[in-house]
Structure 1
């Protein structure tokens, strides 16, 4: 009897029946930026040496327009990267003079102040929107990665929580320049979720003993290498 019970225990497979993700890949993939042309529009802002005209720095409206246009930047379009770097340094100098951090954090309050600086307010809103676009683009990258990983098909017992993983990473590191870290954290959390659910919601005791042994061998081999 004891032997039979041990066999049944080793081969018992739990079933957690996790609810499916409320998000779908299409939700995040809509964040992709479509194809567009640079149709030489931005070259009019450049001088004969290939740099942006210094005179633009005296025209705040042109600076804001060029900064907003840089939102369309995708990989490989150097002129928009240059436009972002060029305009942002001057706009941030203006913002620093008026307390950028306070204005960015309290845009809705600042725009109600009678003494508000309309140019600075517009820059704050544009910068906020640009950061949101960055986050959406990162989410699109993760969505494609998760779709290629095909978790729901290969491991139907596990939770597909890439959206939640990204929000968790974003809550830990929100600074725009640390996008690579956010992507790495979100991917790690999703992979860890698969492993966790394999242990808690799918694997039999016998399978988990074998899986753990194989995993430990991989770690040892990695260290030796």
Structure 2
């Protein structure tokens, strides 16, 4: 009897009025992912990961600190940093212990190191920027034409904490200087600066930043071909996983 009552109740239940899926049947009509191709991507990516891991774990020469920091930053921006969390932390902390880093008079080296440390959750004082300020408390004039230094300082300023006046001032000054320089910069550097002025790294979605940054990075003279290829393969592999998940959800 109880089973019969439940069955009758089930017949009169109102069905939910769900709206149609936003995807329609787009993912249902797509051909399933080529498993052999995806497997080949994964195998090649596995080889490249070890090469990048070696790059990250090799201590930098004293005159190559900025180059090593830039490699770490590119790995993160290209969306493959999650493969090398420990290696990245170890490399940054290793650089932090180097006297050559603390004694550097290069704004890009100091600003990039500062940003990477704070991004990873490590505290570093904003006092590191006082060496770039004159007796009147203004940033030195020679920085105004250094677009790389301005770019890195601008990005670093978005990791300020309340009360860090020097970084608040740096943000305003670097923004104005970058705006005045951007039209004279070559492609793809100009596109990179414009994107950062529109939305700094700290306000971007990592996976979307990977999609946007790969075409810019592959045009840069300083690109690392191994890192670039791994970023593309990793994007393809992750995208194939997402497609299959959405296909399953749509069904």
Q: Please confirm whether the aligned pair reaches a TM-score higher than 0.5, indicating the same fold.
A: no
Relative contact order, CA 8 A, sep 6+: which one is greater?
Answer: 1
Please give the range of the TM-score, normalised by the shorter of the 2 chains: 0.3 to 0.5
Taking structure 1 as the reference length, the TM-score comes to 0.33
